[in-house]
Amino acid sequence: MENVVLYPFNKITQGIFRFRDLTDFNVTAVVDFVLHKGCDVGELIEGAAAGIPITDNIEEAFRSANTLILNDPGTSFGNNEGVYGEFNLKELWRVLVLAAHEHNIRIISVHEILDQNTLQWLEENQITIDIDEQIPDRLVSRMVDEYAFPSPTDEMTTYLNYFELDTKIKTYNQRICKVGIFATRGCLGKFTAQMSLFRELKKAGEKVRTIITEPTASLFNQPGGDIMKFIARRPLNQYPYYINAAVRDAENDGCDFIILSGQGSLLPNENFIIAATKISYLRAFSPDLTVLIAGYDDDEQIRDSLDILRIYGNGSRSFAILIPDKYEVDFGQYEFKTPEEMERRKQEIRSRFDVDHVECVLDIGKLTSELIKHRKSISQ
């Protein structure tokens, strides 16, 4: 994998582009049949041209590519049902994939392809799509070898077991600094904060690993932590042990830091098993420092989240609260906050909540030196 075309131009593709310096491939083009055709990706995301076009011209996109990375499984998902139907994206996906196959371009998907009609079409056309590995076999093997899992019984027993992890899970040393990034709700910038901090710590000479819960972990050569990817292979109640195994693996490799970004909101939802899972992997990760990302009108959710982190986060300090610079309001459409709005919100948070730092998500790199100081203090 050397010269890569991405499809389509969505949130995950933007994340791959924004942190492309942390990958070992070059992005040469982005194919999209809906958004920003004719634009330069860099101008849209970073404000400066990067020489990487967004195009609906497949032949042009494939001119210098040897790999196509699909961030779309060929059927609608997430919040794109309306767009999928309006622009006939199911058929255009097939046109794109067939063209890549005919050009002898390797095709990788970051999502599992589960739709039977799509699978049948691929088989009929003798097209192979490699599914991006999310959950490393070495960590699964380590988890199986090291832990005695509670026997699955009824849902309530499984639920209660999640709150007794500290009596079942193996302990580890405290040389590594564990940073947990969580949010009051989804789509506030957890991945951006995680990867920005990952980049800045690497630049500072720290040995750092990050557990990526987006479906792109292996593209950054990091372990994945997507719950849905995990339960495709193992029972859900083993997920906290997998997270703990990832921390132990990083520590054994001599890492100074490991960063985990939670999925979705930290707060419970109506599914008590999923809610308990959030608590259990928080306890299994056992962060030394936590970063909470919050919105502009959710003080009550901030209080609840800080309580959860204090009670179930092994007494970890709430090191910082971050706010986003934009919200996604519709498919591919964002509402941007002005500098004045961001500064006003930061001042509100400083006055209402007892945390060390309040910054914009994009400015998490400013916290790097403080994190290194803390890491040195716990390793002594």
Torsions phi, psi for 93 (to 5 deg): -60, -45
Instruction: Using the predicted structure, report yes or no on whether residue 229 has a pLDDT greater than 80.
Output: yes
pLDDT in tens, 47-72: 999 999 999 999 999 999 999 999 99
Closest CA to 192 of 17, 374, 3, 1: 17
Structural tokens at position 269: 């939802």
Q: Supply the angle between the helices 155-162 and 272-285 in degrees, to the nearest 10.
A: 30
Beta carbons of 29 and 5 less than 8 angstroms apart:
yes
pLDDT, average across residues 252-261: 95
Q: What is the pLDDT of residue 172?
A: 61
Rounded Cα gap, residues 74 and 127, in angstroms: 13
Residue predicted with more confidence, 73 or 80 = 73
Q: What is the pLDDT of residue 171?
A: 65
Q: What is the pLDDT of residue 250?
A: 95
Q: What is the pLDDT of residue 334?
A: 80
Paired with 335 in beta bridges are 327
Element (H, E) at 81: helix 81-86
Exposure string for 33-53, b = 16+ CB within 10 A, e = fewer = bbbbeebbbbebbeeeeeebb
Q: Supply the angle between the helices 11-18 and 190-203 in degrees, to the nearest 10.
A: 10
Residue predicted with more confidence, 334 or 240 = 240
Residue predicted with more confidence, 217 or 154 = 217
Instruction: Using the predicted structure, report yes or no on whether residue 179 has a pLDDT greater than 80.
Output: yes
Paired with 315 in beta bridges are none
pLDDT in tens, 132-175: 888 999 999 988 888 877 666 666 666 666 666 666 676 665 68
Beta carbons of 193 and 366 less than 8 angstroms apart:
no
Rounded Cα gap, residues 304 and 307, in angstroms: 5
Complete domains list, the chain, with CATH: 3-131 (3.40.50.720), 137-379 (3.40.50.300)
pLDDT in tens, 18-37: 999 999 999 999 999 998 99
Q: What percent of the chain has pLDDT over 70?
A: 92
pLDDT, average across residues 186-210: 96
Global confidence as pTM: 0.92
Structural tokens at position 360: 């914009």
How confident is residue 120, by pLDDT bands cut at 50, 70 and 90? very high
Instruction: Using the predicted structure, report yes or no on whether residue 261 has a pLDDT greater than 90.
Output: yes
3-class SS of residue 296: coil
Instruction: Using the predicted structure, report yes or no on whether residue 317 has a pLDDT greater than 90.
Output: no
- Averaged pLDDT of the chain: 90
pLDDT in tens, 279-310: 888 888 989 999 999 999 999 999 999 999 99
DSSP code per residue over 220-238: GT--B--HHHHHTTS-GGG
Q: What is the pLDDT of residue 151?
A: 67
Q: What is the pLDDT of residue 14?
A: 93
Rounded Cα gap, residues 189 and 291, in angstroms: 12
